[in-house]
Chains A and B, each alone.
Chain A
Amino acid sequence: MEKFDKLTGVAAPMPLYNIDTDMIIPKQFLKTIKRSGLGVNLFDEMRYDDQGNEIPDFVLNKPAYRDAKIIVAGDNFGCGSSREHAPWALLDFGIRCVISTSFADIFYNNCFKNGILPIVLPQEDVDKLMDDAERGSNAVLTVDLEEQVITGPDGGTVRFDIDPWRKHCLLNGLDDIGLTLEKGAAIDSFEDQAAQARPWV
């Protein structure tokens, strides 16, 4: 997993509520057996018409936002299906950070497994960053994970909270499985006890 320390990039505004994972990556693109290559189909049904032509009004099709690295989104981003194809598609497009008032639980977890930072902020901070993001190519934000600060185009700053363990893993690009396997003895001993207590499992 790629480390996340400091990110500077254009932020795209997507104020819509309840942007679900079917919107982020529609089901017809889940038939891949790889993790890569989904960026071209990110937000496919919002981004392209029936003939596959770009819909010019869609934010990521606008010249200013084609290289966006950050999305500022409405409430409950990532709701619905557990498909990790959603963060894979975001990452493949180049999005490394999503900012909203709230995220759906599974999507939120999936982001951290892929080096994407989801930031939860109060409504007034999201509103302010949404205003910043509306400025097109001037909508450059800098997200500093170590300091837990977002700096806007006018130099204003917004602080954010994050679970210390998740921060540590993102900053260092740590692989969860490797870390858990180091606790192998604890898992062995749990299994021994459980086999006594609940032998039917």
Chain B
Amino acid sequence: MSGKTLYDKIWDAHLVHEAEDGTSLLYIDRHLVHEVTSPQAFEGLRMAGRTVRAPDKTIAVPDHNVPTTLDRANAATMTEDSRIQVEALDKNAKDFGIHYYPVSDVRQGIVHIVGPEQGWTLPGMTVVCGDSHTATHGAFGALAHGIGTSEVEHVLATQTLIQSKSKNMKVEITGKLSPGVTAKDITLSVIGATGTAGGTGYVIEYCGEAIRDLSMEGRMTVCNMAIEGGARAGLIAPDEKTFEYVKGRPHAPKGAQWEAAMDWWKTLYSDDDAHWDKVVTIKGEDIAPVVTWGTSPEDVLPITAAVPAADSFQGGKVGAAQRSLDYMGLKPGTPLNEIEIDTVFIGSCTNGRIEDLRAAAAILKGKKIKVKRAMVVPGSGLVRAQAEEEGLADIFTEAGFEWRLAGCSMCLAMNPDQLSPGERCAATSNRNFEGRQGRGGRTHLMSPAMAAAAAVTGKLTDVREMM
């Protein structure tokens, strides 16, 4: 009998019930909740006269709708429907007695940044949220994935989820990364290699020297976009870096419980003889700083490349690529580093952590932006405070960036931060879909350092030229 993968181990430790056909009931350790995908779930509970089974394992924070401007305490900065959603979360959190970080709390921020920051996310846990980027928490060796609102209601009522087991995929990034190449370049390059449906039906475990070398922030960036590759979840086995990050956080175990937790956490790795249904190996040194050119996260190329022709693809992708080129207003053959940018957005659950802000500030120090507008949106109030303490905020504002309050902001434009039709944006977020950042808006995804470089030159730029 072969050994177990990390996914197998976490799965087995959370199995409540397994039917003959493999349909399983999985226990959920942490349920994160935000304002957009939860109102109908709470309403469903009320209508059925049900309660939240484990309010102490349920954590809510508003992030998608909230304005990120400094005047957001003024209710008039929100549209009425946004305000209703945030107020509904305020009320639901209070009525059902769940942990809550309201907009006025300095710890408020993007749910996937707040969870790890507060020590809610721990190795070996099962973590769900009504948000596809829940995959982020996999960086801790937690099985974490997005769910729909019906499933949110199911978890609220039962603290379990009906699941069928996914297959195991290993994505190994060997060797070292070159200077200027970051976690974002890894995760985009993997999607470029496997496609947006390449991970469908799988849970991915990322491993290899280049992954081990990443900080926890970088690992969160990698796992965050596992969903963009179609995978149910992304995982990285916990190690000393993980334990170091977790230790001392408000909701991390302490004393004897810490010791007991460590004993278990240290067993959370894939056995040498574990079975993998699919293996993808990429050499770290082959990864370049990349950008997306199209409207799917799989439309990834090194910054040194040119816009591709639609007919360089095959099958249904030819039509999709042509549609992307038309939408993005790009001509095949144009060098990517000649594409002019209007706007720069640094933030999101993909790249809104302190290390991301440090990387961008390192490029921006002493320079001015050449784009029409640029904004930095820290992932949480605590990231913002730390960046101010480290002097990063001054570097951003002196360069011409707007220094915002925490929220999802322009990643999905459900709040006032949006692109206008035709406006072209260098973004550190996770989706370049049509209209994602505002109707007609054109998004190029990249790392924080690459976005900073684009801000300085006014066009897509190879950050290595500025290092």
Query: Footprint of B on A, CB under 8 Å?
Result: 15-18, 20, 22-23, 26-28, 30-35, 45, 50, 74-76, 79-84, 87, 102-106, 109-110, 113-114, 163-165, 176-177, 180-181, 183, 186-187, 190-191, 194, 197-201
Contacts and interface: CB of A to CB of B under 8 A. Distances in A.
Contacts of A164: 21
Find the residue from A17, A181, A187, A198 having the highest chain B CB count within 10 A: A17
A163 B21 contact: yes
A28 B436 CA distance: 10
Nearest to A26: B435
Contact of B413 (A27, A74, A197, A199): A27
Given A177-B153, A180-B25, A82 B17 contact: no
Nearest to A22: B433
A187 B54 CA distance: 12
Given A33-B84, A82-B147, A16 B320 contact: yes
B316 A74 contact: yes
A16 B40 contact: no
B200 A181 contact: no
B150 A110 contact: yes
Given A181-B157, A198-B264, A200-B260, A31 B85 contact: yes
Nearest to B125: A201
Nearest to B201: A105
A6 to B, nearest CB: 23
Nearest to B82: A31
B131 A104 contact: no
Contacts of B201: 105
Contacts of A183: 16-17, 25
Contacts of A32: 81
- Going nearest first, the 3 A-B pairs with the smallest beta carbon separation are A200-B253, A113-B150, A110-B148
B150 A176 contact: yes
Interface stretch (B158-166, B212-220, B354-362): B158-166
B323 A35 contact: no
Contacts, number: 184
A79 B158 contact: no
B66 interface: no
Interface in B395-438: 412-414, 421, 431, 433-436
Contact of A102 (B36, B160, B200, B232): B200
B32 to A, nearest CB: 12
Contacts of B7: none
A30 B36 contact: yes
A82 B132 contact: yes
A163 B134 CA distance: 26
A18 B431 CA distance: 12
A106 B147 contact: yes
Contact of B319 (A15, A45, A79, A114): A15
Given A16-B323, A22-B434, 17 more contacts: A17-B296, A18-B197, A23-B434, A31-B65, A31-B79, A76-B196, A76-B230, A81-B431, A102-B200, A106-B147, A110-B150, A163-B23, A177-B154, A186-B17, A197-B264, A198-B124, A201-B122
Contacts of A198: 13, 124, 261, 264
A54 to B, nearest CB: 16
A82 B146 contact: yes
Interface string B62-86: 0011000000000000010110110
A17 to B, nearest CB: 4
Given A16-B320, A199-B257, A106 B146 contact: yes
A200 B79 contact: no
Nearest to B156: A177
Contact of B320 (A18, A26, A50, A199): A18
A23 B436 CA distance: 9
Contacts of A177: 48, 50, 153-154, 157-158
